Amino acid sequence: MKKIFIETYGCQMNVADSELVAGIITDTNHQITDDINSADVIIFNTCSVRQHAEDRVLGRIANESSRKKNKPGLKIGVIGCMAQRLGETLLNNKAIDFVVGVDQYSTLPDIIDNLDEHDHYFTEVNNSEIYEGLYPIRQNQLNAFVTIMRGCNNFCSYCIVPYTRGRERSRPLPEIIREISDAGNKGFKDITLLGQNVNSYKWQDYSFPELLKEANSIDSIRRIRFVTSHPKDLSDKLIDTMASSDKVCEHIHLAMQSGDDDVLKRMNRGYSAEHYYNLTEKLRAEMPEIAITTDIIAGFPGETENQFLNTYRYMEMIEFDYAFTFKYSPRTGTKAADFINQIPEEIRLERLQRLIELQEKITLKKYQEQIGKIKEIYVEGISKKSEDEVSGKSRDFKITVFPGDKTLIGSFVKVKITDATGWTLRGERTDIA
Ligand code: SF4
């Protein structure tokens, strides 16, 4: 029996994969530890979305490999997107003992049992791998993330994911429903359905709206969320299903990326800015309280000042509750990295700064519009700033802080919003008799 420590980088998909890996490893009599000092094996679950993500984890690996001096039997492994992208070449790094790609996690127990023999790498792509019948060990105590599909077929020109996570494949609906109800029975009341592009879920005759309907009929849970949605696959049927399903929360993360049609075309996003705008109108018509959040890239190759201003104007018109804004960073292996008209770093940074300043004003306005409203809050913990306060999330995914103690953690309470700063609402309970 070996003790395994898993360190996770990157997106929610990777967090869910680390929980799946914990399940796979624990099923074979090895033990997951959260104490790196007692580990026999350290696994880094890595991200490749930007060069910085890879450099950071390679730095960590170099640091932790010094432990081998005092613990010669200690082994270090790399899994996740960087393992998939760099494969066997990672074994040139003497600190690394094994490399396992995103479709090969079932091989981990065998690798761990035979680590003393020689270095291992398994990064074969398997576009049908969905880890059927294998279930995660959840680290989070309150929110459960349930992977519904793996891979992505969209090939946005700036994105490495389709090259590291392979083609789209959906898990069988009965397995997903079983995993959600099990999680609900174990006390997880807030469920997030995960995929690179959940809107294109397809299993037999079931598409994503059908899956949402099925999940909505599970009694053991209270809230359903999903991430990530792609605008080209957001159908009227899905919007109707969201509006008519009481457990589906009034929040959607819908990556716009740019507000200029020419830039969207060169990003290979598959929709126009006007189409995106109309989607936000439809969502708000059906769910007036819905929060819409997004991702925006500033300084995509070839982006002119006017094209940038088109993005700026759409952000002013749509007024997202918040937006993750990024400066474009070329990713080796993606089409856009080879586009000739790369924008100088200082212009990318300057445009990013303008988006950040704009969005900060809009977010504050959107949060202040919540003052006076009564919201249902799922209490997640003691507030970071005060022992006498607790913090939790509203259905529209806003962090809310109010007076309370740890006995409230895991419960749903009604809170009247009395104040708002950038990303936090403040309030007082209204449901105390
Ligand atoms: S939809 Fe586009 S950005 Fe998202 S994972 Fe797929 S290729 Fe990447």
pLDDT tens for 61-115 read: 999 999 999 999 999 999 999 999 999 999 999 999 999 999 999 999 999 998 8
**pLDDT for position 118:** 58
Determine if ligand 1 sits within 6 Å of the CB of residue 155. Answer: yes
Q: Looking at residue 197, which CATH number applies to its domain? A: 3.80.30.20
Same domain flag for 199 and 343? yes
* Closest ligand 1 atom to Cα of 230: 1
Ligand 1: residue whose CA is nearest its atom 4: 196
State the burial class of residue 417 (Cβ atoms within 10 Å of its Cβ: 0-12, 13-18, 19+).
Answer: buried
- Could you tell me which residues come within 8 angstroms of residue 409 by beta carbon, excluding any fewer than 6 positions away? 142, 379, 380, 381, 382, 390
Instruction: Answer yes or no: is the C-beta of 154 below 6 A from any ligand 1 atom.
Output: yes
Atom nearest to 152 CA in ligand 1: 6
**Ligand 1 nearest-atom number relative to CA 162:** 7
pLDDT along the chain (433 residues), means of 10: 95 95 92 96 94 94 95 95 95 94 95 77 89 88 93 96 95 96 95 96 97 98 97 98 98 98 98 98 98 98 98 98 96 95 97 98 97 97 94 97 96 97 93 65
The confidence score (pLDDT) of residue 120 equals: 76
Return the sign of the alpha-carbon dihedral for residues 130, 131, 133, 135: negative
Q: With a 6 A CB cut-off, is 257 part of the ligand 1 pocket?
A: no
Q: Residues 321, 386: one domain?
A: no
Model pLDDT, residue 29: 82
Task: Specify burial of residue 70 (Cβ count, 10 A radius: 0-12, 13-18, 19+).
Answer: exposed
315 and 177 within one domain: yes
Q: Are residues 301 and 233 in the same domain?
A: yes
Same domain, 217 and 355: yes
Q: Residue 199 and residue 212: Cα distance in Å, rounded?
A: 10
Asked whether residue 190 falls in the same domain as residue 330, the answer is yes
Kindly report the CATH number assigned to the domain that includes residue 28: 3.40.50.12160
Ligand 1 centre to CA of 427 (Å) is 37
pTM, two decimal places: 0.94
Q: Is the CB of 196 under 6 A from ligand 1?
A: yes
Shared-domain flag, residues 241 and 105:
no
258 lines ligand 1 (CB under 6 A): no
Q: How far apart are CA 182 and CA 17, in angstroms?
A: 18
Q: Which is nearest to 255 in space by CA: 234, 282, 224?
A: 234
| Cis peptide bond upstream of 430, omega within 30 | no
Q: What is the DSSP letter of 42?
A: E
Distance from C-alpha of 360 to C-alpha of 149, rounded to nearest angstrom:
33
Q: Is residue 129 included in any domain, yes or no?
A: no
* Distance of CA 154 from the midpoint of ligand 1 (Å): 6
Which structural domain, as residue segments, surrounds residue 424? 374-432
Q: Looking at the structure, tell me whether residues 364 and 412 fall in a common domain.
A: no
pLDDT digits (tens, 9 = 90+) for 131-161: 998 889 987 778 999 999 999 999 999 999 9
Domains identified in the chain, total number: 3
Ligand 1 proximity of 172 Cβ (cutoff 6 Å): no
Both 359 and 407 in a single domain?
A: no
Residue 134 domain-assigned? no
Residue 266 sits in the same domain as residue 362: yes
Tell me whether residue 37 is exposed, middle or buried, using C-beta atoms within 10 angstroms of its C-beta: 0 to 12, 13 to 18, 19 or more: exposed
State the distance from the centre of ligand 1 to the C-alpha of 159, rounded, in angstroms: 6
> How far is ligand 1, taken at its centre, from the CA of residue 152, in Å?
6
**266 touches ligand 1 (CB under 6 Å):** no
Q: Which of 158, 164, 165, 196 to mutate to test the pocket of ligand 1 (most atoms within 8 A of CB)?
A: 196
With respect to residue 41, please indicate whether it lies within any of the assigned structural domains: yes
* End residue of a domain, out of 61, 93, 122: 122
